Amino acid sequence: MAFSGLLRPAVLAASRSPRVERAITRIPATKKVVDRFIAGETEGDAVAATSALLGSGRSVTIDYLGEDTTDLDSARGTVVHYLRLLSALAELRAVNDAPVPQLEISLKLSALGQSLPQNGYAIAREHAYEICTAAKSAGVWVTVDAEDHTTTDATLAIVRELRLDFPWLGTVLQAYLKRTEEDCRTFAGPGSRIRLCKGAYREPASVAYQSRSAVDESYLRCLRVLMEGKGYPMIATHDPALIDAALRHVRESGRKSGDFEFQMLHGIRDTEQRRLAGVGHTLRVYVPYGDQWYGYFMRRLAERPANIAFFLRSFRDR
């Protein structure tokens, strides 16, 4: 309770602070911790990490890091990175009998221009359409990431539009938002792909549950809606209790291995990732890369006290 009530909000606030970013990114010991969560800075780094994960029996979704883009050139630069990545993944694509593609990319619409003051919605939609077109040719899935609550309506609207041409397109819903249970009902229809996560941004109590127990209870309610629906749930959690709950729903609903998947973050609970994959579940690893790692890194620190402890030990061990 002390962590979630005090330290976690402070870390999330720091994730939005340019001053704190400058201080932390200049500390040499930071790289030791960053390397645990981030695959590297280039497409080559991402592909190398992906190849190793595929070899271990896991699936992958790759995120080119960046968000809150404020100029069109940066948004176009993000598109170029994804197109290069997809070209490389087309050559890496495994040919096997897996029920779902092993390769996927994850997009943040704010990195594609959603936050631009003029025509941001249309620009992000067009950029996402271009990336989805390339992904389809490469045989790679796409999931649109969730960001803070102010972007949710626009993000889901763009997803609805894109799914008219790319019905396999997935999106993310965050259990800590009070609206998410109803969003799960809306998006649990045939062909839908929903990644359900707890949520990693600092949100006000007016729109988001604040306590860990309330978030967990919301996650369980949302999980039941998705498992009882007609879509493809993507269960994004490292929480053993929630994983066990998901497996109970699998048994009760009669879902097969190709009807859902687990997702975990690169560098977190590697042994559990291998265990789930080893018993026949689809386990997809979220692999981020790029030089704009600060915001993502700070959210990972905020998620668990163990991550903070690991960060602090890196200074002691210098």
Q: What is the pLDDT of residues 21-65, one digit of tens each?
A: 676 667 666 676 777 888 999 999 999 999 999 999 999 999 999
| CA triple 194-205-21, angle to 5 deg | 80
- Tokens coding 95: 């040919």
How far apart (Å, rounded) are the C-alpha atoms in residues 271 and 118?
46
* Count of alpha carbons within 13 angstroms of residue 182, beta-carbon side: 4
pLDDT at 12: 65
DSSP-assigned letters across all residues of 65-91 = ------SHHHHHHHHHHHHHHHHHHHH
71 included as an active-site residue: no
> Of 8, 195, 202, 299, which is the active-site residue?
195
Token code pair at residue 204: 């006000």
What pLDDT is attached to residue 60? 97
pLDDT confidence of residue 296? 75
Contact 181, 221 (CB under 8 A): yes
Own/partner contacts of 42-47, CB < 8 Å, gap of 24 or more, are: 42/289, 43/81, 43/84, 43/85, 43/88, 43/289, 44/88, 45/289, 46/85, 46/287, 46/289, 47/85, 47/88, 47/89, 47/92
Kindly give the parts of the chain with pLDDT less than 50.
Answer: 1-4, 314-315, 317-318
Task: Reply yes or no on whether 195 is catalytic.
Answer: yes
d(CA 49, CA 266): 9
pLDDT of residue 313: 56
* DSSP helix, strand, coil percent of the chain (3-state; round to 5): 55, 15, 30
Instruction: Retrieve residue 86's tokens.
Output: 């997809």
Mind listing the pLDDT tens digit for each residue in 145-184?
A: 999 999 999 999 999 999 999 999 999 999 999 999 999 9
Considering just the CA atoms, what is the radius of gyration of the chain in Å? 19
* Active-site choice (63, 145, 148, 183): 145
Strand partners, 288: 63
* Residue 134 CA, distance from chain mean position: 20
Q: How far apart are CA 157 and CA 176, in angstroms?
A: 20
Structure tokens belonging to residue 14: 């720091």
Contact 50, 266 (CB under 8 A): no
61 C-beta neighbours (distance < 10 Å), count = 26
Q: Is the dihedral of CA 262, 67, 125, 138 positive or negative?
A: negative
Structure tokens at 56: 């271990």
Q: Indicate the DSSP class of residue 258.
A: G
